[in-house]
């Protein structure tokens, strides 16, 4: 095999979806788990609000969670996968606790369930306001105990091919290439936020899995369904700090540039309307007032309660010079989440045989046109478990012979990537597809993005991290704008 190493399953991505897939795969399988940066860097680690799941059946019902998900999604959700999400969800959330995930509790020991926009009941489990980090830390600890899982950090899958029922992955570690071959591959590469000027997403969110799947011929669906979070801290840094939905859940008001509440003019649910409604209302209110200044105000609540309930948000804002217990905080919408992606069935299978996708890079259809708050960690858990189960069943009969797999040519490129390509893509996306899509700008932007993609594909560029991520971002941006134009 030269420097091609054999596995049963390659998992590209080590956020909640990738980690949970590794934990659920049969322990007899040889698994390679890849993370292109350090393991702790992912959108999963940034999740604040929590996981939505019906744990208290005396005050809440699965049916109600199902209906809230459909309402938020504008009834464009896939009913079968949504039903699976809400019914299987509580089981997977209980399993998180078996992996020592510590959710906040009330004084009597029962789970502290909070409320977020679009939910009609208190059903969000959380660990203070840093739920994602708590889950990721505990899942990493559990995966590291598995002898059948090899973890490669700072290892970027630059290319993925399929030949003779085997996936070959070209893996870049620094400037070195290493290769892996397996009959099964799970894409769990997260979102696309870095295609935008302002996003809540971490630096890894460059749409790699979607671009890899697209190049393999997999079906991509609803890629233009991007969620813009209404309340990112407005400091104009690329990675905008998110002020969780849960702050509005606990009673925060949204104010316009005159310090007036305005949501009642747009939706009867006011500040607790789903995200797309709130983001769109802010943009319309901005057009009405001629100002982009908006604020979130929860200073009317008890300050000790706020410090204890939102310690990370409180600390981060204080570092920026804002005390949320005493004053209003500037906010504005920014890119946050991708509802579409690599199209999968209810077992997380893509249209390419034995290629799976789960988590934010996938399109299961559970979110419809707009994701309900705290449903994405749940989706990552439920559908990565289903991918693992589906592979497990097949692997029993699998008589795989590791021969005649695709062998990559050595990288012949010599030129470094010129500066400015990503900046141009981000400017185009921010202009053409931010909250309310602009079809004319999308048409122009699409043409320019296709030119950039062509120059990347045909240039003599070295296959560096920078090159691969830029090509992936450009590929995803082109797919988004193409869909915007055709909608």
Ligand X SMILES: Cc1cc2nc3c(=O)[nH]c(=O)nc-3n(C[C@H](O)[C@H](O)[C@H](O)COP(=O)(O)OP(=O)(O)OC[C@H]3O[C@@H](n4cnc5c(N)ncnc54)[C@H](O)[C@@H]3O)c2cc1C
> Which of 343, 376, 344 is closest to 360 using CA atoms?
376
Counting contacts by CB under 6 A, is residue 342 touching ligand X? no
Q: Is 15 left (phi over 0), alpha (psi -120 to 50) or beta?
A: beta
> Looking only at residues 226 through 285 of this chain, which bind ligand X when binding is defined by CB under 6 A?
242
Q: Which residue among 85, 93, 188, 428 contacts ligand X (CB under 6 A)?
A: 188
Q: Which residue among 42, 114, 222, 224 contacts ligand X (CB under 6 A)?
A: 42
Return the number of the residue (53 or 281) whose C-beta is nearest ligand X.
53
Counting contacts by CB under 6 A, is residue 101 touching ligand X? no
33-to-4, 5, 175, 377 alpha-carbon distances in Å: 16, 13, 20, 19
The DSSP line for 112-153 is -EE--TT-SS--EE-STT-HHHHHHHHHHHHHHT-TTEEEEE
Return the number of the residue (50 or 183) whose C-beta is nearest ligand X.
50
| CA separation for the pair 71, 77 (Å, rounded) | 9
Q: Which residue among 77, 168, 189, 354 contacts ligand X (CB under 6 A)?
A: 189
Return the number of the residue (45 or 390) whose C-beta is nearest ligand X.
45
Q: What does the chain come to in residues?
A: 487
Q: Which residue among 7, 29, 44, 372 contacts ligand X (CB under 6 A)?
A: 44
| Residue range at the interface with ligand X (CB under 6 A); choices 34-42, 76-84, 213-221, 341-349 | 34-42
Counting contacts by CB under 6 A, is residue 13 touching ligand X? yes
Reduced DSSP (H G I as helix, E B as strand, rest coil) percent helix, strand, coil of the chain, to 5: 40, 20, 40
Reduce the DSSP state of residue 195 to 3 states and report it. helix
> Which of 263, 105, 91, 100 is closest to 114 using CA atoms?
105
| CA separation for the pair 189, 180 (Å, rounded) | 17
Q: CB of residue 200 vs ligand X: minimum separation in angstroms?
A: 4
Return the number of the residue (201 or 470) whose C-beta is nearest ligand X.
201
Residues 162, 194, 248, 275: which is the catalytic one?
Answer: 275
> Looking only at residues 348 through 407 of this chain, which bind ligand X when binding is defined by CB under 6 A?
359-360, 374-377, 380
Reduce the DSSP state of residue 369 to 3 states and report it. coil
Counting contacts by CB under 6 A, is residue 132 touching ligand X? yes
β-pairing, 4-6 vs 176-182, is parallel
Q: CB of residue 55 vs ligand X: minimum separation in angstroms?
A: 15
> Looking only at residues 47 through 86 of this chain, which bind ligand X when binding is defined by CB under 6 A?
47-51
Return the number of the residue (342 or 441) whose C-beta is nearest ligand X.
342
Residue 11: CB atoms within 10 Å: 32
Give catalytic status of residue 349 as yes or no.
Answer: no
| CA separation for the pair 70, 176 (Å, rounded) | 46
Query: Residue 461: phi, psi to the nearest 5?
Result: -85, 145
Q: CB of residue 464 vs ligand X: minimum separation in angstroms?
A: 13
Q: Which residue among 36, 119, 133, 138 contacts ligand X (CB under 6 A)?
A: 36
Counting contacts by CB under 6 A, is residue 475 touching ligand X? no
Q: Which residue among 15, 73, 118, 368 contacts ligand X (CB under 6 A)?
A: 15
Q: Which residue among 23, 32, 54, 156 contacts ligand X (CB under 6 A)?
A: 156
Give every CB contact of residue 142 below 8 A, 6+ residues apart in sequence: 19, 23, 99, 100
Counting contacts by CB under 6 A, is residue 134 touching ligand X? no
| CA separation for the pair 77, 370 (Å, rounded) | 9
Return the number of the residue (262 or 310) whose C-beta is nearest ligand X.
310
Specify whether the CB–CB gap between 270 and 253 falls below 8 A. no
| CA separation for the pair 162, 148 (Å, rounded) | 23
Q: CB of residue 335 vs ligand X: minimum separation in angstroms?
A: 9
Return the number of the residue (380 or 441) whose C-beta is nearest ligand X.
380
Q: Which residue among 143, 204, 449, 479 contacts ligand X (CB under 6 A)?
A: 204
Return the number of the residue (60 or 170) whose C-beta is nearest ligand X.
170
Q: CB of residue 435 vs ligand X: minimum separation in angstroms?
A: 17
| Residue range at the interface with ligand X (CB under 6 A); choices 89-97, 101-109, 186-194, 441-449 | 186-194
| CA separation for the pair 103, 125 (Å, rounded) | 6
Applying CB under 6 A, what is the total number of residues that bind ligand X? Answer: 40
Query: Residue 191: phi, psi to the nearest 5?
Result: -95, -160
Counting contacts by CB under 6 A, is residue 430 touching ligand X? no
| CA separation for the pair 299, 294 (Å, rounded) | 15
Q: CB of residue 135 vs ligand X: minimum separation in angstroms?
A: 9
Return the number of the residue (368 or 445) whose C-beta is nearest ligand X.
368
Interface contacts to ligand X, rule CB under 6 A: 12-18, 34-37, 42-44, 46-51, 131-132, 156-157, 188-190, 200-201, 204, 208, 242, 337, 359-360, 374-377, 380
Residues involved in catalysis: 275
């Amino acid at each position: 095999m030269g420097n091609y190493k054999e596995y049963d399953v390659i998992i590209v991505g080590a956020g909640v979806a990738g980690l949970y897939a590794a934990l659920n795969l049969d322990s007899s399988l040889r698994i390679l788990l890849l993370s292109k940066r350090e393991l702790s860097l992912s959108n999963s680690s940034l999740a604040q609000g929590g996981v939505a799941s019906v744990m208290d059946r005396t005050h809440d019902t699965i049916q109600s969670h199902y209906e809230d998900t459909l309402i938020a999604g504008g009834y464009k959700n896939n009913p079968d996968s949504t039903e699976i999400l809400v019914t299987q969800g509580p089981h997977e959330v209980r399993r998180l606790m078996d992996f020592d995930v510590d959710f906040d509790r009330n004084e009597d020991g029962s789970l502290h369930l909070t409320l977020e926009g679009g939910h009609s009941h208190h059903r969000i489990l959380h660990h203070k306001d840093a739920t994602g980090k708590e889950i990721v830390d505990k899942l990493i600890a559990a995966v590291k105990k598995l002898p059948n899982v090899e973890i490669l950090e700072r290892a970027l899958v630059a290319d993925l091919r399929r030949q003779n029922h085997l996936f070959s992955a070209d893996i870049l570690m620094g400037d070195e290439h290493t290769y892996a071959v397996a009959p099964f591959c799970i894409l769990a590469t997260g979102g696309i936020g870095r295609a935008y000027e302002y996003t809540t997403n971490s630096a890894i969110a460059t749409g790699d899995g979607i671009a890899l799947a697209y190049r393999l011929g997999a079906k991509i669906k609803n890629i233009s369904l991007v969620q813009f979070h209404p309340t990112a801290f407005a400091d104009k840094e690329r990675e905008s700090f998110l002020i969780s939905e849960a702050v509005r859940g606990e009673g925060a008001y949204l104010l316009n540039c005159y310090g007036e509440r305005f949501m009642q003019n747009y939706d009867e649910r006011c500040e607790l309307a789903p995200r797309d409604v709130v983001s769109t209302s802010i943009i319309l209110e901005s057009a009405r007032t001629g100002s982009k200044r908006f604020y979130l105000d929860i200073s009317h609540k008890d300050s000790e309660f706020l410090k204890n309930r939102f310690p990370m948000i409180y600390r981060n804002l204080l570092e920026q010079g804002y005390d949320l217990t005493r004053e209003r905080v500037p906010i504005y919408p920014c890119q946050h989440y991708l509802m579409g992606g690599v199209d999968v069935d209810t077992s997380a299978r893509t249209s390419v045989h034995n290629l799976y996708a789960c988590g934010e890079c996938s399109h299961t259809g559970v979110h419809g046109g707009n994701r309900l708050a705290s449903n994405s960690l749940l989706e990552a858990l439920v559908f990565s478990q289903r991918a693992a189960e589906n592979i497990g069943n097949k692997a029993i009969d699998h008589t795989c012979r590791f021969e005649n797999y695709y062998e990559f040519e050595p990288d012949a490129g010599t030129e470094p990537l010129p500066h400015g390509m990503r900046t141009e893509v981000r400017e185009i996306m921010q202009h053409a597809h931010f909250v309310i899509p602009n079809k004319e700008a999308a048409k122009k932007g699409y043409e320019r993005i296709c030119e950039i993609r062509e120059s990347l594909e045909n240039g003599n560029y070295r296959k560096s991290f920078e090159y691969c991520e830029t090509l992936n971002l450009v590929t995803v941006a082109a797919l988004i704008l193409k869909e915007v134009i055709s909608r």
